[in-house]
Amino acid sequence: MVLIKWREGYMNLFQPCADGIRSACVVLCCSLILAFPVAATTGENRHCQDSGPLVFGILPFISAEQLVFRFTPLVNYLSENLKVPVRIETAPDFVEFARRTHEETYYDILFTAPHFFTRASQKAGYRLIASVDSPEMWAVIVVPKQSEIHTLQDLEGKRLATVPPLGLATLLVRKTLFEAGIDPDVDLDMVITPTHDASLLSSYHGVTDASALMQPPYAAASKKVRDSMRIVARTESTPHIPISVAPWLGEACAAEIAELLVNMGTTLEGSAVLQHNRFTGYRQGDPSVYERLNDLLSR
Amino acid sequence: MHRKSITLFQSLRFRLIASVVSIEIIMLSLLVWNNISIIQATHTDRLRDTATSMIQQIARTSGNYMVAVDYATLEDYLSNIIDYQELSYLVVLDRDEHAVIALGEFPVQPWPVLETHPAQVTDGVFDVTDVITVAGQPMGRVLMGFSLSLMDEAIRKSRTRGITIAVGEIVLTVIVTVLIGLGLTRRLGILAAAAQEVGKGDYSIKIPVEAADEVGRTASAFNYMVAEVSNRTQQLEAAESRSRTLLAENRNLVHASLHVQEEERKYLARELHDELGQCITAIQADAESIRDLSRDGDSRIKTSAGAILDVSSRIYEVVHSMMQRLRPGILDDLGLVEALKDALAAWQERNPNTHCLFNASGDLANLGERINITVYRIIQECLTNVSKHARAGTVTITLTGTADLLMLDIKDDGRGTDLSAPRSGLGLIGMRERVESLGGEFRLDSRVGEGLSIMISVPLPGDEAQS
């Protein structure tokens, strides 16, 4: 797969393109491919060098500031070991992130929610190379400790903060509410916030009555906030975060990235990175575990 | 006393105005220069601070958009900022130094040289940059250019305003100073003119006191001073008049006294000659007769007659000497010159160590008794002083008579005297009185070790007066 870096991102040349410019670009790039075939890897940890700077796309599940803070060590680790610049990029929101992923195949390495991966894999051909080696994750509904809400039924008529509609937490919570006989579109007021942090702080500050968010961001929230909150309900579990690569990235490069991730815990630097991310490690990715999430998006 | 014309640089008015205007110009120039410097520094510092503040704010704000590659939203946001009137251009560069947003009149690459302060600007645009970071990670940078035209215009206006105010103040100062100077010097001129009139003796003048300021007080003091001077002058004139009268009376008294003294001396000399001289002559004749008659008789009679002769001769000599001192008969018989020669010869005989020279010239025959005896007595007193005090080797006496003036010059080469030292003798005073009683002048000149000189001039009366 070959991409041309466009004014606003990368364009997948193998995606259907209707306009003449894209067709021209396809012809041009094919010529380039014939003239300069992809060079074979020349040694260890050199497989990604020809791919140029790699874009490490992360779902904007937390603020950009937090996101850069949390994932810079990981990106730097990859960059140093792959001998190629790796850059963090995200999107203004989930929808735009999904659009870039699905329509532009914008990100070289994709760090996204499990249900987004299944769609990215299906629509844009992203290949799973690793997963966060942690127990499955789930969403939680939390309320302030002194709140009168103790069960899901108590949420009726209340304001529930959550992440954007496509967010995994929202989807899981909606499913759980439905299963509890509560129609989230009718029985309560779903208040959309841009990130998990925003959702949590919304009820913490009393703007909403309850907050829905994934458990890992909740666990990573400040102790002061968590100590003043109480979990009312949790959703079903989902596989942990998958890490995939764009379809045009070479197998050797993808394998090298996967190897670096899986073996991260074996090096001192890698362990520090994992500790910073509060991950225990990465394991080889198994696409089949994510298949059960297909119906989640269909809702 | 006449009034001198004043040159321009001597004029108090000119100097006052020139000094005030010079100081005003210097101080206002410094003030304007200082204000312009402060204004320039203030404007440049403000622009620097504004630029720093804006670019830091944009760099902080842009981070999330850069991470999210949300350039459209970022451009919308920055489009509002580019409207800031001093902002010339705004460019956002990504991590590869590609311009992802370029607003305003942005320069073509290569990007302009950056400045840290507007004072460093040479192309009219203050170019600044700041790195866009998120969580400490660089995400690109912002490049901004601030046009200096507005700042330069503001500085130019401030400078023009400052210079206008300074020029206005200088003009105002000149006008006020000229008016004050004119008023001040006009009144001082009145004072000067009044002082000149007072100098001429017009004490009736009185200056009008126009104001209670320093010049007014000076005018009041001047008027008071003129009144006091007038009063004192009148008193002095009265005292002087009384002194002149007393002096004249005193001189008349001295003259009369001297005349009486000379007349008394003359009388005494005549009495001595006529009465005592005849008696002594008779005694001598009788004694000679007794001596001649007793030639063959008792030798004791002869001896006694001889003793009487000796005593009478001695008495005669004493009387003769007294007669000469009281009234030299030769003065009346042979005149002043011969009397002086006779007296000088006698003095020379008594003072052989001092050589006395006498020169007489001119018409000295008919000087009159008063002048003759005065000159004779003065020379007599001078020679007495020489023999007593001068220890002179030579004394020269020069007597010159002209048609209307008699001049007497007496010089010696003795030890002289300190004229400023107080003296107890009455000789010099007597000489001066004698001369001044004749309406003449008496001058004395001497220094220690350089002899003494007396110069006398006496006006000679006409023929009618002498007769």
Per-residue pLDDT reduced to its tens digit, B386-426: 988 888 999 999 999 988 899 999 999 999 888 888 776 67
On chain B, the residues whose CB falls within 8 A of the CB of A87 are: 95
Judge: A90–B68 Cβ closer than 8 Å, yes or no: yes
Q: Is A67 exposed, middle or buried (0-12, 13-18, 19+ CB in 10 A)?
A: buried
Name which of B165, B189, B169 is nearest B177 in CA terms: B169
The closest of B39, B44, B33, B43 to B120, measured between CA atoms, is B44
pLDDT beneath 50: ranges in chain A: 1-43
Do A96 and B95 count as a contact with CB atoms less than 8 A apart? Answer: no
What's the pLDDT score for residue A44? 53
Going by C-alpha positions, the residue among B377, B395, B354 that lies closest to residue B458 is B377
- Please state, as a whole number, how many other Cβ atoms lie within 10 Å of the Cβ of residue A169: 27
Backbone angles phi, psi at A255, to 5 degrees: -65, -40
Question: Which of the 8 DSSP states describes residue A104?
Answer: I
| Structure tokens belonging to residue A213 | 């968010």
Nearest chain A residue to B72 by CA distance is: A8
DSSP-derived 3-state class of residue A211: strand
CB contact under 8 A, A66 and B135: yes
Give the model confidence (pLDDT) of B30-74 as tens digits: 888 888 888 888 888 989 999 999 999 999 889 989 999 999 999
Is there a contact between A8 and B69 if contact means CB atoms under 8 Å apart? yes
- Kindly determine whether residue A8 and residue B137, on different chains, have CB atoms separated by under 8 Å: no
Q: Tokens 């000189």 appear where? A: B453
* Yes or no, beta carbons of B68 and A65 under 8 Å apart: no
Closest CA to B68 of A97, A248, A101: A97
Residues paired with B125 in a beta bridge: B147
Identify the sign of the CA torsion A120, A124, A127, A130: negative
Q: Retrieve residue A214's tokens.
A: 């994934």
User: Which residue in the set B63, B68, B96 is minimally distant from A91, CB to CB?
Assistant: B68
- Mean pLDDT over each residue of chain A, to the nearest integer: 84
Q: Cα–Cα distances in Å, from B30 out to A200, B23, B27? A: 65, 11, 5
Distance CA B15, CA B365 (A): 72
The answer to whether A277 contacts chain B (CB < 8 Å) is: no
Q: Rounded to a whole number, what is the distance in Å from the CA of A67 to chain B's nearest CA?
A: 9
DSSP secondary structure letters along B128-141 = EEEEEEETTEEEEE
Cis amide linkage into residue B328, ω under 30° from 0? no
Is residue A82 within 8 Å of A257, Cβ to Cβ? yes
Question: Could you give the CA distance from residue A190 to residue A203 in angstroms, rounded to a whole number?
Answer: 12
Size of interface A-B (CB pairs under 8 A): 46
Q: What is residue A7's predicted lDDT score, i.e. its pLDDT?
A: 30
Residue B213 above 70 pLDDT? yes
Q: Which of B60, B64, B97, B100 to mutate to test the interface with A (most CBs of A within 10 A)?
A: B64
Tokens of B368: 């009159």
CB B78 within 8 A of CB B91: no
How many angstroms away from the CA of B68 is the closest CA of chain A?
A: 4
B64 touches chain A (CB under 8 A): yes
B358 vs B173: which has the higher pLDDT = B358
Q: Which residues are bridge partners to A6 per DSSP?
A: A9
3-state DSSP assignment of residue A230: strand
Q: What is the pLDDT of residue A176?
A: 94
* C-beta atoms of B67 and A9 within 8 A: no
C-beta of residue A83 within 8 angstroms of C-beta of residue A49: yes
Question: A65, B134: Cβ pair inside 8 Å?
Answer: yes
pLDDT: which is higher, B349 or B107: B349
What DSSP state is assigned to residue B265?
H
Dist. CA B289–CA B282, nearest whole Å: 10
CA-based nearest distance B158→chain A, Å: 46
Neighbouring-strand partners of residue B410: B397, B454
Specify the pLDDT at position A16: 37
Q: What is the pLDDT of residue A3?
A: 33
Predicted-assembly ipTM surpassing the 0.90 threshold: no
CB-neighbour burial class of residue A90 (10 A; exposed 0-12, middle 13-18, buried 19+): buried
Q: Count, in order, helices (H) and strands (E) of chain B.
A: 11, 9
CA distance A8 to chain B (A): 8
Phi, psi of A262 (to 5 degrees): -65, -40
Tokens standing for residue A191 = 């208040």
Q: What is the pLDDT of residue A234?
A: 95
What does the pLDDT read at residue B16? 78
In a mutational test of the A interface, the residue from B61, B66, B69 whose CB has the highest number of chain A CBs within 10 Å is: B69
Which residue does chain A place closest to B95, by CA atoms?
Answer: A87
A96 in contact with chain B, both atoms CB, cutoff 8 A? yes
How far apart CA B192 and CA B241 sit, in angstroms, is: 31
The answer to whether B64 contacts A9, with C-beta atoms less than 8 Å apart, is no
Q: Following DSSP, what letter does each residue of B387-442 receive, concatenated? A: IIII--SEEEEEEEE-SSEEEEEEEE-S----TTS----SHHHHHHHHHHHTT-EE
Of B69, B73, B136, the CB nearest to A89: B69
C-beta neighbour count of A215 within 10 angstroms:
20
Mutation site, B73, B134, B139, interface A, largest A CB count within 10 A: B134
Q: Which two tokens stand for residue A63?
A: 């603020």
Locate the chain B residue with the closest alpha carbon to A97: B68
Q: Give the HSE-up count for residue B118: Cα atoms under 13 Å, Cβ half-sphere.
A: 24
CA distance A199 to A188: 16
Q: Cβ contacts (< 8 Å) between B95 and chain A: which residues?
A: 87
Q: In what order do the strands lie in the sheet with B441-446?
A: B355-362, B394-401, B405-412, B452-459, B441-446
* Tokens, residue B177: 């100073």
Q: Does A60 touch chain B (CB under 8 A)?
A: yes
Residue among A53, A65, A87 minimizing CB distance to B64:
A65
Min Cα–Cα distance to chain A from B103, Å: 16
The three-class DSSP label of residue A112 is: coil
Token output for A276: 């910073």
Contact of B68 with chain A, judged by CB distance below 8 Å, is answered with: yes
Q: Would the pLDDT of B439 be above 90?
A: no
Q: Quick one: closest CA in A to B134, which residue? A: A65
Q: Given CB atoms, is A79 within the 8 Å cutoff of chain B?
A: no
| Structural contact between residues A1 and A12, judged by C-beta atoms closer than 8 angstroms | yes
B154 in A contact zone (CB under 8 Å): no
Specify the higher pLDDT residue, B15 or A110.
A110
| CB pair distance less than 8 Å for A68 and B73 | no
- A63 contacts in chain B (CB < 8 Å): 64
* Minimum-distance CB partner of B71 among A8, A69, A87: A8
Assess contact for B445 and B453: CB atoms under 8 A. yes
The radius of gyration of chain B's CA atoms, rounded to the nearest angstrom, is: 57
The residue among B65, B67, B133 with the most chain A CBs within 10 A of its CB, best to mutate, is B67
Angstroms from B42 CA to nearest CA on chain A: 36
Q: What is the mean pLDDT of residues B105-117?
A: 80
What is chain B's mean pLDDT, rounded?
86
Rounded to whole angstroms, the Cα distance separating B263 from B271 reads 12
Q: At what angle do helices A168-179 and A114-124 cross, to 10 degrees?
A: 110
The confidence band for B463, taking pLDDT boundaries of 50, 70 and 90, is low
CA distance B3 to B16: 22
Partners of residue A68 in chain B, C-beta under 8 Å: 63, 67, 134-135, 137, 139
> Which chain A residues have a beta carbon less than 8 Å from that of B96?
53
| Distance between CA atoms of residues B465 and A65, nearest Å | 141
Residue of chain B with shortest Cα separation from A76 = B137
Residue with tokens 């197998």: A251
B63 CB within 8 Å of a chain A CB: yes
Rounded distance between C-alpha atoms, residue B117 and residue B125, angstroms: 11
Compute the radius of gyration of chain A from its Cα atoms: 21
Residue carrying the six token digits 């995606």? A15
Cα distance between residue A96 and residue A78, in whole Å: 25
Does the beta-carbon distance from A8 to B68 stay under 8 Å?
no
Give the pLDDT of residue A298.
66
Task: Give pLDDT tens digits for B357-386.
Answer: 999 998 888 888 888 888 998 998 899 889
Query: Would you state the pLDDT for residue B55?
Result: 93
The length of chain B in residues reads 467
Q: How far is A64 from chain B (nearest CA, A)?
A: 5
